[in-house]
Structure 1
Amino acid sequence: MSGENVQSRLYRGECPVIPYFEALSAIPRSSGHEQAASDYVAAFARARGFEAVQDASWNLIIRKPATQGYEQAPPVIVQGHLDMVGEKNEGVAHDFLNDPIRLRVDGEFMTAEGTTLGGDNGLGVAFAMALLDDRGAAHPALEIVLTTEEETSMKGARKLDTALLRGRMLINLDSDREGILYVSSAGGARAYHTVPVAWKEANGAGCAGRLRVWGLVGGHSGDDIVHERANACELLGRVLDGLRKRLPYTIADVRGGLASNAIPREAEASLYVPPAQWAEAEAAVKEWEAHFRAEYAVADPGVSVSFEAGGPGTAQADGAAQVFSEASKSMLVDSLLLVPNGVLRMDKAIPGLPRTSTNVGTVKLTSEGVRFESLVRSSLRSELDAAMSRMEALARAIGCGFEAGDYYPGWPYRMASPLRDVFLDVYARVYGKPMEVKAVHAGIECGILADRIPGLDAVSYGPDLFDIHTPDERFSISSVERTWNYLRQVLQALNNPSH
């Protein structure tokens, strides 16, 4: 299959990137489950006569020789990642480990039916495949590098054998704004809080109900954290705190969010409420919804809070179910209130850029207790370490467990960058206007690779991609077309050995 021409089902234009994206979208590739996608792209490359090296993490390195006249030009690394974030709307039946992404075209945009699209970073992979299949391009030797688990731990980039790479110029294709060249990014680390749970019998606890916070915009916890959108886990904590000040209740379950690098759009708790206080609980929940809609009228106008009898995931008041002890309930609610979330400090040197932030991405009940996973980002290692120390001290004070995940380095700005100069020169010639150069608060693998490849000159670029890490994710078809033509011209311009 990989040796045949890929045909598009939805797209009728000339750009080869989109048909390859459609083909890739048929292969489930959530973080940690990229083997099938890696095998597919490796077979695609080998069928065209190119060397493809896979490692134990299913990272890929594919080599395409220089075209005639470019044999003496320095090789160029073109890099993206194979995995995607799997998020879906409530009620959508989709198994991210087995089901293909259901694509559709909506006017100028390609999107998915009720799930994330996977344009982050399926588009980067599709661009790489198009370059491999492009017989008319003029370019230096290419080293296509496609990594795994970028969305969760950046494990693939950290495990990659960079000694296999000759290139010292890297074009990362994991950006989402046409006309903006990213040249620096934040470092990050994951933080885990675990609230221990002591259980007790639910006898006489009352009626089972489902408390939900939903309807939020969500978004990327790096790119979108500056917009101060609501975090469903944080709002759930505020409602639970408000309820405990007004009436007795017990908790049987709690969950929220799907990934640490996505702002949670939904969160819920299964409660038992005494029948005599049920109406008061419903009234209190309506009050909280009104408060949130006033607070987030601009940033998150669709925020909703509901409380219903029964519902999926709730325990049944049959005398056999168990609920949290009062001490465990208090520790959970305190943690939901106190674990830091949102922008901690803005960068005063770059207007509009967060310098340090945290995102409570997931909250879920496990065999060890209720586990919080947060992603801490900063362009300064000292501030990131300070945020992690604050979170660890908070865990100690509350009495819950704490673990720090692996740190990935930021990507420092490079004063002299011949590669950046080529991107800027070609953009001005093609578009007739200057290109923007920016830093980004998100984590990009350029930081890990620059840390491990001495002298690496890197940039990050891509077409317009909106609402990534949410089921509203979509990309501009015309932007992909323009970006493809622009990328080919950039590679054509890299024929000067001094670059």
Structure 2
Amino acid sequence: MTPISQLSPRLLWQFFDTLCSIPHPSGHEAALRQWIADWAVERGLDVMQDAVGNLIIRKAASAGMEKRKGVILQAHMDMVPQANADTDHNFTTDPIQPYIDGDWVRARGTTLGADNGIGLSACMAVLADDKVQHGPLEVLLTIDEESGMTGAFGLAPGLLQGDILLNTDSEQDGDVYMGCAGGVDANITLPYEAEPVPAGHQALRLTITGLRGGHSGINIHQGRASANKLLAELLMDISQHAELRLSELDGGTLRNAIAREASALLTLPADAMDTLSALLERRQQQYRCEFAGIDDFIRLELAPATMPARVMSTSLQQRLSDALLACPHGVMEMSRSMDGVVQSSTNLGVIGTRPEHIHVQCLIRSLNDEGRNRVAEMTAAVFRLAGARCNFDGAYPGWQPDPDSAVMQLLLDTHKELFDVLPEVKVIHAGLECGLFKAVYPGWDMVSFGPTIQGAHSPDERVHIEAVSRFWQLLVRVLKQIPER
């Protein structure tokens, strides 16, 4: 146990401390799932694993509350694996190292997993604490939310009997959410056309580091720099001043995280070094000025590298550079009906060089299918012009707001009762699982809320300690006040 386990509410933080000790990145939730299932069985709870790997845990109603509406508490078991370049961390074997930093909890050099580990810990604390009063209770813990929503896609009808779903995957204390964006992945491949390295060239590695990155939905409107877009700009600029030849291009690690780092293996004539060094110095100053107050620590570095066996053909290099420059990235459209809400966006999340092709992945989000499809078609058109193949998968719907939601009104009233202020009702530009749940369980009344988590999907992730306490108080009181059927 670490000092984290001594925070309040203690039971919730003890569970979170344990979660940090069990590796659970997307696609590798089995050990955590087994630990949770074993724990629940030991407590005499009804536990089942569905066909895709989700866990459903049932707890009987508190005495006298058997006639209340059934509640499904919901969280996902996986976390986003992101580490700083100077942090040696294997997310499938190494524990997260949380620590207290003033009013916050962070992790050493990696994502913390507060998204959605705090919500998951709250669900388990409700199951563990018999003093928490509630009606018939089901806890739904899904897999693979961050990388494909596999658990939500695979949830079968008829497994759950509750009437109300409380999603714990939101990240701002004082806000409650009644809608979210849908999304789709764009997977792009461009065949690698190779040529020999020109005579008289030397090999160099260009890297971009020091960016904040962040959640490709929640942070996309904040103007944060994308390492992938900056690299595309730099390479085009360099090619106009020297005989640049590209061998490899790599940036970002996840389609749902704004790229924090990117690099290129390139060759140049030996006499181009002075020109290139001066250009990079100017560009670094330009970027730090352009992104002042947002990304203040952008670093452009150049280092000698091992000579590659090949470089891209001049045709491929030009088409790839043009496509990456033209690729949409960022906010595409703001909502016309909700002030300050992003309607559609896209994130140029991943660029990777493979032996046979260049791979690019984008995540496109929108509050409606029409906006999502519009940006998808735009993205496909850009890369088709470059000779690439573009296919789309993993499409999921948004969660359309229900202005007549009874559980939303209950949560608003309870928040006012507890904290003497009404929370803000919002629509989040991120892919909550609620849209997929609604397609299978259309009668569910749903709401999403959670504590303040900043820097999700990046090693800057942190969760506010007092906000966790407020989140727990709100959750416990809402469960107590769920009405009868």
1:480 to 465, 468, 483: 468
Residue 339 of structure 1 aligns to which amino acid in structure 2? C
Q: Which residue number in structure 2 is paired with residue 313 of structure 1?
A: none
Indicate conservation of the 8 Å contact 2:333/2:343, yes or no: yes
**Do the aligned partners of residues 226 and 14 (structure 1) sit closer, same or farther apart at CA in structure 2, a change above 3 Å counting?**
closer
TM-superposition CA deviations, 1:226-275 (whole Å, max 9, x none):
10111100000000000111110212211111111111111110111110
Q: Which residue number in structure 1 is paired with residue 442 of structure 2?
A: 454
The CA distance in 2 between the partners of 1:437 and 1:108, in whole Å, is 25
Q: Which residue number in structure 1 is paired with residue 244 of structure 2?
A: 249
Residue 477 of structure 1 aligns to which amino acid in structure 2? I
Listed as ranges, the gaps of 5+ residues in structure 2 are none
Residue 10 of structure 1 aligns to which amino acid in structure 2? I
Offset of residue 296 of structure 1: 1.4
Deviates more, 1:227-236 or 1:321-330: 321-330
Query: 1:104 aligns to what SS in structure 2?
Result: strand
2:73 to 74, 78, 95: 78
Residue 497 of structure 1 aligns to which amino acid in structure 2? E
Residue 42 of structure 2 aligns to which amino acid in structure 1? A
1:32 to 21, 27, 32: 27
Say whether residues 1:497 and 2:484 are aligned partners: yes
Q: Which residue number in structure 2 is paired with residue 60 of structure 1?
A: 55
Indicate conservation of the 8 Å contact 1:194/1:371, yes or no: yes
The CA distance in 2 between the partners of 1:436 and 1:415, in whole Å, is 14
Offset of residue 334 of structure 1: 1.4
Indicate conservation of the 8 Å contact 1:195/1:331, yes or no: no
Q: Which residue number in structure 2 is paired with residue 279 of structure 1?
A: 274
Offset of residue 203 of structure 1: 5.5
The CA distance in 2 between the partners of 1:485 and 1:259, in whole Å, is 34
Query: 2:17 aligns to what SS in structure 1?
Result: helix
Offset of residue 53 of structure 1: 0.9
Q: Which residue number in structure 2 is paired with residue 4 of structure 1?
A: none
Q: Which residue number in structure 2 is paired with residue 213 of structure 1?
A: 208
Q: Which residue number in structure 2 is paired with residue 177 of structure 1?
A: 172
Offset of residue 14 of structure 1: 4.1
Query: 1:164 aligns to what SS in structure 2?
Result: coil
Indicate conservation of the 8 Å contact 1:168/1:453, yes or no: no
Indicate conservation of the 8 Å contact 2:368/2:397, yes or no: no
TM-superposition CA deviations, 1:313-332 (whole Å, max 9, x none):
xxx23xx7222121221122
Q: Which residue number in structure 2 is paired with residue 240 of structure 1?
A: 235
Q: Which residue number in structure 2 is paired with residue 128 of structure 1?
A: 123
Say whether residues 1:106 and 2:101 are aligned partners: yes
TM-score, normalised with respect to structure 2: 0.97
The CA distance in 1 between the partners of 2:53 and 2:161, in whole Å, is 20
The CA distance in 1 between the partners of 2:207 and 2:324, in whole Å, is 15
Indicate conservation of the 8 Å contact 1:205/1:250, yes or no: no
Indicate conservation of the 8 Å contact 2:6/2:13, yes or no: no
Say whether residues 1:152 and 2:139 are aligned partners: no
Say whether residues 1:398 and 2:386 are aligned partners: yes
Offset of residue 205 of structure 1: 5.3
Listed as ranges, the gaps of 5+ residues in structure 1 are 1-6, 311-315
Q: Which residue number in structure 2 is paired with residue 430 of structure 1?
A: 418
TM-superposition CA deviations, 1:375-399 (whole Å, max 9, x none):
0000121111111111122222111
Q: Which residue number in structure 1 is paired with residue 354 of structure 2?
A: 366
Query: 2:365 aligns to what SS in structure 1?
Result: strand
* CA RMSD in angstroms, aligned pairs only: 1.4
Indicate conservation of the 8 Å contact 2:61/2:137, yes or no: yes
Q: Which residue number in structure 2 is paired with residue 465 of structure 1?
A: 453
Say whether residues 1:356 and 2:369 are aligned partners: no
The CA distance in 1 between the partners of 2:95 and 2:2, in whole Å, is 15
Indicate conservation of the 8 Å contact 1:79/1:145, yes or no: yes
Indicate conservation of the 8 Å contact 2:175/2:449, yes or no: yes
Q: Which residue number in structure 2 is paired with residue 331 of structure 1?
A: 319
TM-score, normalised with respect to structure 1: 0.94
Residue 246 of structure 1 aligns to which amino acid in structure 2? H
TM-superposition CA deviations, 1:366-416 (whole Å, max 9, x none):
244111110000012111111111112222211111111121000001121
